[in-house]
A and B are shown apart, each in its own frame.
Chain A
Amino acid sequence: MTRRSFLRTSTVLATGAAAIAAGLAPLRKIGHYSSVEEFLQKQYKELSPAEMKVVLTRIEGEVERQYGIRPHVRDYKPMSGVQFVYALNLSRCVGCRKCVHACVAENNQSRNPEIQYIRVVKLPNDGSFDLESGDVNYTPKSVPEAGFFYMPIQCHQCHNPPCVTVCPVKATWQEADGITVIDYNWCIGCRYCEAACPYFARRFNFATPSIPKEQINPKMSYLGNRPRYKGVMEKCHFCIQRTREGRYPACVEVCPTGSRKFGNILDPDSEVSYILKNKRVFVLKEELGTHPRFFYYFDI
């Protein structure tokens, strides 16, 4: 090899390597891929039980590194013979927002920027039922206020979910018990589902979520309340880590007026079965054909 050819070859190689490095540089800014394993992880439904175990251990490590607390992450599976249904008594709700904040605490939602799954809409009690005239930012000294009623809105866990249809990568789907879930590791953050949801139930992590260490709920589920990444969608999942163990969701537990009802619609003795049989029930935006599993009812 002559000196000339050596210099030429090495210059070309160095330039090429630099060009490739420069081309790949944006990849370094992808925040949440902490490892090759995470980058190469399969979609939730394709993971074998052994692979899932590895994934859960890895996520526990990630959470511990980020938040300084060792969580217990599990993959809760749907129970057989269970279809979840939610009912909310509009005659009783006083709009105290305790459900909103119990949900945030249970489900490790980002505190800053703030992400909340439940919005409580204050509506004038004039018979118009006009959601456009609703107010979610009400701050009176005490609730309820005369002349208004309150309508909490969260994910309706539709039987025919438009958000699932539009997802281009199948990162969100409906489980056997009716809960629509998101694989946070598979979501690409295109926000199509947010646009498709007629109830504004989906939230997007525009920034890296921040949760104080002492406020982390260490009992986590893969499809539920484990901390989310920047750039992924999230939404209410009926507290999958509680309800798939047979417990009530956090919002039901905390409601001081007993407005919130939850249970298995396939069980004829459950409270939701009674409500659907005996109460005046309606669903929001019925005309869209989404068939929500979330019902509103009255005491009359």
Chain B
Amino acid sequence: METERKTQVVLAVLTMGFAALAINFVRVPARAGVEKRAPLILPGSLAIVPGTIRVSAAQLVASGGDASGLQCYACHDAKKPPEIRYDANHRVVLPKEHLDLIYGMRNCSECHTPDEGVKIEYNADGVVIIPDAHRNLAHMAHGRYLRNEDCFNCHVSTQLDHLHTPEGLVVGLDQATQLCAGCHGTQYRDWESGAHGRRNGYWKSSAGPTVRQECTSCHDPHAPAFTPLIPMPAPHSLHDPRRNPS
């Protein structure tokens, strides 16, 4: 009798336990699609210049290059183009007010010379026309759900030609692989041991150099997915009319 009661108690406890679990499952709401854009990097960890960043390059691209949101006209007269000044090293001298703007962080002299006389053009409505060369500054397609469209996730905000890894290390553009490794650990592990990515040259290191292709040799860092390729011709048989028209 004693044993039977014990069994009943244990069974009852188990049943209640399972019932509680079942209720818990029912009560947890099902996930509906993509939830929220989670930040890839904690906002506080970024060394953004404190200032008046009004629009990011990604937002600019998303708006189709429409610069009207930049509120240039709060300070500038639409009819009177501003003068661009250069220093002794042919670098554009940026007004203090622009230091925090996206374009202000690029070295304009990579493309523009002082005597070129850059002109800002306006359309009929008095809106600045953004040149095509400026539009593709960042064609962002890195990561799903546009979660990684912020330039400063990778670029150092004060020096766009430098990158900062999630650990806070600042590296040059030629060492981008270290930065990629921060998020793509499994690919980096495979790349390190040769299973991912291209290797060229010599398999036998004593015979000659093995060239390890870096991440950015094959992937565009702003749009890393491979674009489709045009396939080479298909095989054809001896009697194929394409080869032997007669």
Q: Are B195 and A261 in contact (CB under 8 A)?
A: yes
Please tell me if A137 contacts chain B, counting CB pairs below 8 Å: yes
Known contacts A247-B202, A274-B194, A279-B195: A256-B231 contact under CB 8 Å: no
**Contacting residues, chain B, for A138 (C-beta < 8 A):** 231, 234
- Nearest-neighbour CB distance to chain A for B207, whole angstroms, equals 3
Say yes or no for A292: interface residue by CB 8 A criterion. no
Contact yes or no, A258 B197, CB < 8 A? yes
Binds A, one of B21-29, B129-137, B222-230: B222-230
Is B198 in the interface zone, CB < 8 Å from A? Answer: yes
Number of cross-chain contacts by CB at 8 Å: 111
Interface members, chain A 243-289 (any B CB < 8 Å): 243, 245-248, 252-253, 255-258, 261-264, 270-271, 274-275, 278-279
Determine, out of A90-98, A156-164, A183-191, the stretch whose residues face the partner at the interface: A90-98
> B204 is contacted by which of A100, A246, A297 (Cβ under 8 Å)?
A246
A38 → chain B closest CB, angstroms:
26
Chain B positions 178 through 209: 1 when the CB is less than 8 Å from some CB of chain A, otherwise 0: 00000000000010011111111111101110
Q: Is A112 an interface residue (CB 8 A)?
A: yes
Tell me whether chain B's interface is mostly helix, strand or loop, or mixed: loop
Complex contacts, B229 vs chain A, CB 8 Å: 94, 96, 142-143, 256
Q: In the complex, which of the residues B203, B229, B232, B238 has the most CB atoms of chain A within 10 Å of its own CB atom?
A: B203
- Cα–Cα distance between A263 and B210 once the two chains are bound (Å): 12
A248-B201 CB under 8 A given contacts A94-B229, A257-B226: yes
Question: Is A133 an interface position by the 8 A CB rule?
Answer: no
Asked whether, in the complex, the Cβ of B213 is within 8 Å of the Cβ of A258, the reply is: yes
Indicate whether A144 reaches chain B with its CB closer than 8 angstroms: yes
- Interface range on chain A: under 10, 10 to 19, 20 to 34, or 35 or more? 35 or more
A139 adjacent to chain B (CB < 8 Å): yes
If A138-B231, A206-B238 touch, whether A248 touches B194 (CB-CB below 8 Å) is no
Given known A-B contacts A141-B230, A274-B193, A279-B195, A246 and B218 have beta carbons under 8 A apart: no
Closest to B193 in A: A274
Number of interface residues of B (CB under 8 A): 31
Tell me which residues across on chain B come within 8 A of A279, comparing CB atoms: 195
- Contact across chains for B232 and A114 when beta carbons are under 8 A apart: no
| Cα(A113)–Cα(B231), bound, Å | 21
B203 CB, nearest partner CB in chain A, Å:
5
Residue ID in chain B nearest A277 by CB atoms? B193
Query: Nearest Cβ in chain A — how far from B193, in angstroms?
Result: 4
The answer to whether A261 touches B194 (Cβ under 8 A) is: yes
How far does the Cβ of A159 sit from chain B's closest Cβ, in whole Å?
20
In whole angstroms, what is the CA distance A264 to B195 when docked?
14
| Min CB–CB distance A216 → chain B (angstroms) | 19
Are A139 and B194 in contact (CB-based, < 8 A)?
A: no
Cα distance, A233 to B101, chains bound together (Å): 67
Collect the chain B residues with CB atoms within 8 Å of residue A100's CB.
232, 235
Task: Please report the C-alpha to C-alpha distance between residue A274 and residue B199 in the assembled complex, in whole angstroms.
Answer: 14
| Cross-chain contact A143 with B231 (CB below 8 angstroms) | yes
Asked if residues A101 and B232 are in contact (CB atoms below 8 Å), the reply is yes
Cβ < 8 Å to A, chain B residues 212-246: 213, 218, 226, 228-238, 243
Q: Is the CB of A137 within 8 A of B234?
A: yes
Interface string of B130-169 (1 = CB under 8 A from A): 0000000000000000000000000000000000000000
Q: Quick check: A253 and B200 within 8 Å, CB to CB?
A: yes
Q: Are A248 and B232 in contact (CB under 8 A)?
A: no
Indicate whether A136 reaches chain B with its CB closer than 8 angstroms.
yes
User: Is the CB–CB distance between B195 and A271 below 8 Å?
Assistant: yes
Residues of chain A whose beta carbon lies under 8 Å from any beta carbon of chain B = 79, 87, 89, 94-98, 100-101, 112-114, 116, 119, 136-144, 206-207, 243, 245-248, 252-253, 255-258, 261-264, 270-271, 274-275, 278-279, 297, 299
- Can you name 25 A-B residue pairings with CB atoms under 8 Å? A79-B204, A94-B229, A97-B233, A100-B232, A100-B235, A114-B243, A136-B234, A136-B235, A139-B233, A140-B231, A142-B231, A143-B230, A246-B202, A246-B207, A246-B208, A256-B218, A257-B218, A258-B197, A262-B203, A263-B203, A264-B204, A274-B193, A275-B194, A278-B195, A297-B195
